[in-house]
Amino acid sequence: MIEAVGLTKRYGAKTAVYNLSFQVRPGVVTGFLGPNGSGKSTTMRMILGLDRPTAGHVTIGGHPFRQLPNAPRQVGALLDAKAVHGGRSARSHLLSLAQLAGIPAQRVDEVLGVVGLQDVAKRRSKGFSLGMGQRLGIAAALLGDPQVLLFDEPVNGLDPEGILWVRNLMKKLAAEGRTVFVSSHLMSEMALTADHLIVIGRGQLLADMPVKDFISANSADFARVRIPGTEPAQREKLTSVLVEAGGQVLPEPDGALRVTGLQLPRISDLAHGADVRLWELSPHQASLEEAYMRLTQGAVDYRSTDDRLAHLQPPLQPGQPGYGMPPQPQVQEVPQQGWYAPPPPGQNPYGAAPQAPAPGPNPYAGGPQAPAPGPYAPPPAPQPSAPQPNSLQPSDTPKDAR
Amino acid sequence: MTAPAHHHAPAPHAYVSPIPVRAAHLGDALASEWTKIRSVRSTVWTLGVMILLMLALGLGVAAIAATSEAEMGEESALAFGFFGMLPASICVITLGVLTIASEYGTGMIRTTLTACPSRARVLTAKAIVFFLLVFSVTTVLATLVAVAQVALVDTAATPTTAEWLRATVGAGGYLALLGLLSLAVGTLIRHSAGAITVMIGLLLMPLVAALFMFNQTLQSLQKFLFTYAIPSQMISLYSEKPPFGDSGPAGWEPLLIMAAVAAAALGGAYALLNSRDV
């Protein structure tokens, strides 16, 4: 059991983690999600006593890490696959760690077998691929056969077979009754591995709930409506009818419409009443990836811009669409906010100052020590269609390049 | 995982490892640091270069002195050991800094401190293993060189027992203490190249700076630097009375000075290692 209470870490003027409270329970895989730079690694280092929190505290089994009796036998961690001396062989690396923790030396060969590195045990880790490095780091975490395990981005650089192996390993470790805390920025991977999610953005708690609840709370199901592209007037007409009926309409670039807030039969009736022909009317459910992107889109620190090479373009000659001319920008119809169904009006959690929790059950409520839920009020999630049981399936929504 | 799960703990969800749990102690940390220091090539390389330098320079200078047949007077041939000691100290500095700074450079320090939250124990183990390694290697080498020098140069005075001790155990101890100082500086600076630069500067700069102090007002500072610079202290180690003027260290005193400096730096290293984020 890992328990953080009001964990805060500042580096100078920058606040890396702010007032983070959560519990990681044994027996399940807990995913720790957040965009790059959101404070995941800082939090992990504070759990392991490597960094001192500016405020708050974090305990493992009731003790701060540095006061734990037999810490390496209770906690194992993979922080950084590259955190090994490249000149040392895999076996020597693990042997030095085993000796330091008072673990019998034969355990080294056991864990080398578990991670599949027994054939390269004598090789210097400098020549290891990223995937082999991850396996070596996982071996180090497993050395003490601990009851609490922390993994920071364990699947980085692994091949599909390795990813599957890590996924099954995490589940197996949790099934044995251990506390497994896995950070990742890959929502799709967490959807398959984790049972519980802790999501942070800009160092603050965004969500602390089971995966199932996370999806239903954050994904907005929508209906896609397509009308003959040759009749823009019909499109306008349908849009206004749907909006009047209380739906929200978002145009997609290929001409289709995303409709939320209305059931499918109602959309069909409205279209029929307005005398608009439909070519498509289909239900869609947002994937976990989309739910995550929507939740964290306001908390992304590093966002790329287009590489326009503008300064290299020759000056535009009127009437001469010459070589090297940039393609005419497509008419951007979808708001820049992204592909994900927009949060309901007035619910953008990043726009406003902290406010009172929204009425109704709050799915973000953390453990008993959790502070006030903060600004992340749950969207009411208007569901046009009944929630589908298999909510982890990725939708067929085209993934935007952003 | 080869270990089967046992569920005999009171909590419904608690994993208990079948591997017997025992508290780790300093002895475990010493074994670990010994594994670390012998399993990287930089150790072998720096120690190998040091052995070559000490042998080549010590024997070479003795051979030149033997053929020149210059009158040595009261001096014994052991003083030639200095010529091997100075370049050896550069190797010792490098190894001492790398012992800890390479862990910071690679990030290994996080893994180490996760496996042993007692940071003082890690640093103590590093210091003991490194000190014993350098002390034994340099003492054996200095002894070999000293025996060869005394045998080769027959014009010099016969060394006393105290001189023998200082040229062997004393030289080894001085270099090992200089290595401990480097280890402490490496812990404080946490960067291999930076710490090595600082240490080599500390080794050579006082003498170089003193060479250019022509001003009368700086004369006392110049004299101090000439007397207490690390190479001067190494020369003093071989001499019964202060070799530079009337005052200054002689005999075993350089060893005590270096021990005090290394202890102070290690104290700072303990304090900072314990309080800093890694």
DSSP string of A276-305?
A: ---SEEEEE---HHHHHHHHHGGG-S----
Inter-chain touch A100–B115, beta carbons under 8 Å: yes
Mean pLDDT of chain A: 80
What does the alpha-carbon distance between residue B40 and residue B56 come to, in Å, rounded to a whole number? 25
Q: Is A49 within 8 Å of chain B by CB?
A: yes
Chain A residue numbers touching B274 (CB-CB < 8 A): none
Of B33, B114, B275, the CB nearest to A77: B114
Q: Averaged over A204-220, what is the pLDDT?
A: 81
Q: Which candidate in A96, A103, A172 is best for mutational testing of the B interface (most B CBs within 10 A)? A: A96
Q: Averaged over B238-259, what is the pLDDT?
A: 88
Inter-chain touch A102–B39, beta carbons under 8 Å: no
Q: Which candidate in A66, A85, A179 is best for mutational testing of the B interface (most B CBs within 10 A)? A: A85
Look at residue B5 and tell me whether its pLDDT is greater than 50: no
Q: Averaged over B222-242, what is the pLDDT?
A: 90
Residue B113: closest C-alpha in chain A: A50
The predicted pLDDT at position B167 comes to 93
Q: pLDDT tens, B187-208?
A: 999 999 999 999 999 999 999 9
What does the alpha-carbon distance between residue B181 and residue B165 come to, in Å, rounded to a whole number? 23
CA distances from B106 to A267, A325, B190 (A): 60, 47, 11
Inter-chain touch B1–A145, beta carbons under 8 Å: yes
What does the alpha-carbon distance between residue A27 and residue A1 come to, in Å, rounded to a whole number? 10
The predicted pLDDT at position A250 comes to 86
Domain A2-216 CATH class label: alpha beta
If one compares A377 and B173, the residue with the highest pLDDT of the two is B173
Look at residue A226 and tell me whether its pLDDT is greater than 70: yes
Most confident of A29-43, A225-239, A306-320: A29-43
The predicted pLDDT at position B156 comes to 80
- Of chain B, the percentage scoring pLDDT greater than 90 comes to 68
The predicted pLDDT at position A37 comes to 87
Instruction: Give the CATH fold of the A220-284 domain.
Output: Alpha-Beta Plaits (3.30.70)
Look-up of token digits 């609840």: A213
DSSP string of A350-397?
A: TTS---PPPSS--TT--STT----TT-PPP----SSPPPS-TTSPP-P
Q: Which candidate in A65, A176, A195 is best for mutational testing of the B interface (most B CBs within 10 A)? A: A176
Distance from B114 to chain A by nearest Cα, in Å? 7
Distance from A380 to chain B by nearest Cα, in Å? 35
Contacts of A291 (CB under 8 A, 6+ apart): A187, A214, A215, A217, A218, A219, A340
Contacts of A290 (CB under 8 A, 6+ apart): A219, A339, A340, A341, A395, A397
| Residue pairs between chains A and B whose CB atoms are closer than 8 Å | 149
Q: Is A102 within 8 Å of chain B by CB?
A: yes
Inter-chain touch A89–B25, beta carbons under 8 Å: no
Look at residue A290 and tell me whether its pLDDT is greater than 60: yes
What does the alpha-carbon distance between residue A53 and residue A43 come to, in Å, rounded to a whole number? 9
Q: How far is CA B231 from the centre of its chain?
A: 14
Look at residue A82 and tell me whether its pLDDT is greater than 70: yes
The predicted pLDDT at position B14 comes to 76
Beta bridge partners of A75: A148
Its ipTM equals 0.90
Secondary structure of residue B32 in the 3-state scheme: helix
Residue A126: closest C-alpha in chain B: B106
Band of residue A318 on the pLDDT scale cut at 50, 70, 90:
low
Band of residue A393 on the pLDDT scale cut at 50, 70, 90:
very low
Look-up of token digits 């041939």: B77
Q: pLDDT tens, A320-362?
A: 544 544 444 444 444 444 444 444 444 444 443 444 444 444 4
Domain ranges in chain A?
2-216, 220-284
Distance from B159 to chain A by nearest Cα, in Å? 44
Of A50, A101, A178, the CB nearest to B24: A101
Q: pLDDT tens, A152-210?
A: 999 988 999 999 999 999 999 999 999 999 998 888 888 889 999 999 988 999 999 99
The predicted pLDDT at position B273 comes to 96
If one compares B46 and A289, the residue with the highest pLDDT of the two is B46
The predicted pLDDT at position B218 comes to 87
Q: Of the candidates A66, A39, A63, A38, which has an alpha carbon nearest to the alpha carbon of residue A50?
A: A66
- Least confident range from A75-79, A122-126, A343-347, B27-31: namely A343-347
Q: pLDDT tens, B77-110?
A: 888 889 999 999 999 999 999 999 999 999 999 9
The predicted pLDDT at position A219 comes to 62
Kindly report the number of other CB atoms within 10 A of residue B233's CB atom.
20
Of A83, A103, A144, the CB nearest to B106: A83
Longest dimension (CA), chain A: 79
Note the pTM of the prediction, 2 decimals.
0.78
Distance from B125 to chain A by nearest Cα, in Å? 10
Q: Which candidate in B33, B111, B124 is best for mutational testing of the A interface (most A CBs within 10 A)? A: B111
Backbone angles phi, psi at B48, to 5 degrees: -65, -45
Of A50, A68, A83, the CB nearest to B108: A83
Domain ranges in chain B?
24-273
Q: pLDDT tens, B9-37?
A: 444 457 888 888 889 999 999 999 999 99
- What single DSSP character describes residue A348? -
Chain B residue numbers touching A146 (CB-CB < 8 A): 17
The predicted pLDDT at position A220 comes to 64
Look at residue A57 and tell me whether its pLDDT is greater than 70: yes
DSSP string of A323-342?
A: TTPPPPPPP--S-TT-SSPP
Residues 78-97 of A with CB under 8 A from B: 79-80, 82-89, 92-93, 95-97
Q: Averaged over B129-147, what is the pLDDT?
A: 96
CA trace torsion A258, A264, A265, A266 (10° rounding): -50
The predicted pLDDT at position B73 comes to 66
